[in-house]
Amino acid sequence: MEFYIPLSSADAVHQQHPSSCQIFLPKRISLQGEYEVALLETSYPSELHTVVSEIDSKIIIKFNSSEGSTITRVIHIPRKCYISVDDFIETINEYVSDVTDKITVEKGPDGLVIVKSLECEIVFSELIRDILGLKSNTVCHSACYSQSLTNINQQHNFLNICTDIITP
């Protein structure tokens, strides 16, 4: 007897880290006898979009105008596959510099990211914050350093595995 039950990694319940997870069957299956599970297929995507949604791409910048009023600008960085953290930082700086020159994002010699926000406040989406390794979404009138070395693809699950139950 042969049958297939497609399971998606999107349904995974993660344990302590992304590589340790469980996927539960959609319904209970009772089988007579002994069965084995066989690996049918694995796939590794060749390209993953780093920023996939409008919410993920959002950066809010608040600063004071020369007249003293608060100006709020919302920018969206392009939704695409970024090759490296440096590529991501370069794009952020390009889009932020269109609004103000009081913000810079750079990578230090130790590999940690530094966000400098002078005379303004910058609020990153949760995804951007995580990619940059920041502890807080908001950087206000100061320099903020990442908490760890960053990985451009840290939010992706890369490996898809297909299995089959076969009789011995």
Spatial neighbors of 91 by CB under 8 A, at least 6 apart, are 77, 78, 82
Nearest one of 19, 23, 43 to 161, comparing CA atoms: 43
The share of the chain scoring above pLDDT 70, in percent, equals 68
Chain mean position to CA 98: 24
Position 159: which residue type?
A: L
Nearest one of 72, 92, 95, 76 to 84, comparing CA atoms: 92
Q: pLDDT tens digit string along 24-71? A: 777 777 777 777 766 666 665 555 567 767 888 899 998 888 888 998
Read off the pTM. Answer: 0.60
Nearest one of 51, 45, 52 to 9, comparing CA atoms: 45
Q: Give the integer Cα–Cα distance in Å for 55 and 71.
A: 21
Phi, psi of 83 (to 5 degrees): -75, -35
Spatial neighbors of 25 by CB under 8 A, at least 6 apart, are 5, 7
> How far is the CA of 22 from the CAs of 12, 18, 36, 37, 78, in angstroms?
5, 10, 18, 15, 33
Chain mean position to CA 137: 14
Q: pLDDT tens digit string along 145-168? A: 776 655 565 554 444 555 555 554
Eight-state DSSP code of residue 87 = H
Would you state the pLDDT for residue 74?
A: 92
* Mean pLDDT for the stretch of residues 117-140: 84
Q: pLDDT tens digit string along 62-108? A: 888 888 899 899 999 888 878 778 888 889 889 888 888 878 888 87
Query: What are the residue ranges spanned by the domains of the chain?
Result: 9-46+154-166, 58-145
Band (pLDDT 50/70/90 cuts) for residue 144 is: confident
